[in-house]
Amino acid sequence: MNEFDFLKKLKERARNRGSSVGLVCGIGDDAAVFKLLDRSDVVISTDLLLEDIDFRRDTTRPDLLGHKALAVSLSDIAAMGARPRWSLLSIAVTRDVWESEFLDQFYRGFFQLAERFGVKLIGGDLSRTDSKIVVDSVVLGECPTEREVFRSGAKPGDQIYVTGFLGDAAAGLRLLERGARVHQNATGRRETNSVDHLLLRQLQPEPRVGWGILLGEQRLASSMIDISDGLSSDLHHLCEESGVGALVEASSLPIDTVVTEICGRRALDPLMLALHGGEDYELLFTVAPENVARLPKRVDGIAATRIGEIKKASEGVRISEGSKVWELKPGGWEHFSE
């Protein structure tokens, strides 16, 4: 199959999936064209995923990679309080990957996630590479004007929350590094197999789309960011943009017992994973005191946990453990650290 035949097939698959409301022109022209609802803003995010930097072919599967490529961008859109609508997916592969089942499985994982949120594939780019796989994922969302949630809106006294659990993805990465591999038919349910569960939290992260839309539309969050670099780093980003400080309570951090158990058996520190481990793709957000009562307990079965409070900038970003309080330094992922 040459690339034009492949794109024709992809166009057919894309045509029958996701919502076409507002779509003027999808795959097959020089660019994609779409309309917005009245009084809406466009929210757009782009993420590069590179082989051997962001993923390894021997520790993941093509369908999980297709899922993750979309998930990381959906997470960015959720962190703006917006609703994801459109996606553009670019991929460069080697000739042997091109001639394998890789792309079929990759797009299967991609479309399964896209469909759950009504996201439509409207474009992208396909290229050859000599060595490593390159993926770029673009997601566009829509948001009623002035309902966006920025990193910059936190105020002293606001309560700090995170969705789900922290440190799962980092625990999963440690397991992968020590040789664990996800079983072919793993469901990801933690009750069934806790190792598979953590591996899939790393390889197949679940973007908190429902939480994001709710926090934006109902004006519940004063600021928000998704946790991709790690709680400590991302909280610093949020505090810097908002011009505030923060106090996190270590005992409040939502750490799954599955992580505690795995860590115990492998001499890992669950608190360090929760604070500095990246790629959880949970949402970190702040809520003004008067809005706390309006916050739902769960969205799509996922709870949000209060982990601390926004303080004045002069107080810095700190963490308390019992009676001790110390500075919380950013310790997450950085591509070019000194």
Q: Which of 145, 184, 185, 323 binds a copy of itself (CB under 8 A)?
A: 145
CA–CA separation, 200 and 67 (whole Å): 11
Question: CB burial class (10 A; 0-12, 13-18, 19+) of residue 90?
Answer: middle
**Of the listed pieces 119-127, 263-271, 302-310, 315-323, which binds a copy of itself according to CB under 8 A?**
119-127
CA–CA separation, 335 and 5 (whole Å): 37
**Of the listed pieces 109-117, 131-139, 274-282, 300-308, which binds a copy of itself according to CB under 8 A?**
131-139
CB 258 within 8 A of CB 202: no
Q: Is 130 in the site for a copy of itself (CB under 8 A)?
A: yes
- Nearest approach, Cβ of 123 to a copy of itself (angstroms)? 6
Q: Choose among 208, 171, 188, 191: nearest CA to 303.
A: 208
- Nearest approach, Cβ of 270 to a copy of itself (angstroms)? 26
Tokens 């995170």 correspond to what residue?
Answer: 162
Please list every residue from 215 through 274 that binds a copy of itself, using CB under 8 A. Answer: 224-226, 241
Q: Report how far apart, in Å, the C-alpha atoms of 177 and of each of 58, 59, 265 are.
A: 11, 9, 15
CB 152 within 8 A of CB 237: no
Q: Is 323 helix (H, G, I), strand (E, B) or coil?
A: coil
Measure the CA dihedral 105/111/114/120, to 10°: 140
Q: How many residues does the chain have?
A: 338
Please list every residue from 95 through 114 that binds a copy of itself, using CB under 8 A. Answer: 95, 98
Our CB check for a copy of itself shows the closer of 226 and 256 to be 226
Count of chain residues binding a copy of itself (CB under 8 A): 71
- Nearest approach, Cβ of 159 to a copy of itself (angstroms)? 20
**Phi/psi at 242 (5° precision):** -90, -15
Q: Is 57 in the site for a copy of itself (CB under 8 A)?
A: no
Q: Is 138 in the site for a copy of itself (CB under 8 A)?
A: yes
Q: What is the DSSP letter of 295?
A: S
Our CB check for a copy of itself shows the closer of 194 and 242 to be 242
What six digits make up the tokens of 64? 């999980």
Q: Which of 3, 101, 104, 177 binds a copy of itself (CB under 8 A)?
A: 3
**Of the listed pieces 29-37, 110-118, 260-268, 271-279, which binds a copy of itself according to CB under 8 A?**
29-37
Q: Which of 16, 58, 96, 131 binds a copy of itself (CB under 8 A)?
A: 131
Q: Is 12 in the site for a copy of itself (CB under 8 A)?
A: no
CB 153 within 8 A of CB 81: no
Q: Is 58 in the site for a copy of itself (CB under 8 A)?
A: no
Our CB check for a copy of itself shows the closer of 2 and 314 to be 2
Q: Is 122 in the site for a copy of itself (CB under 8 A)?
A: yes
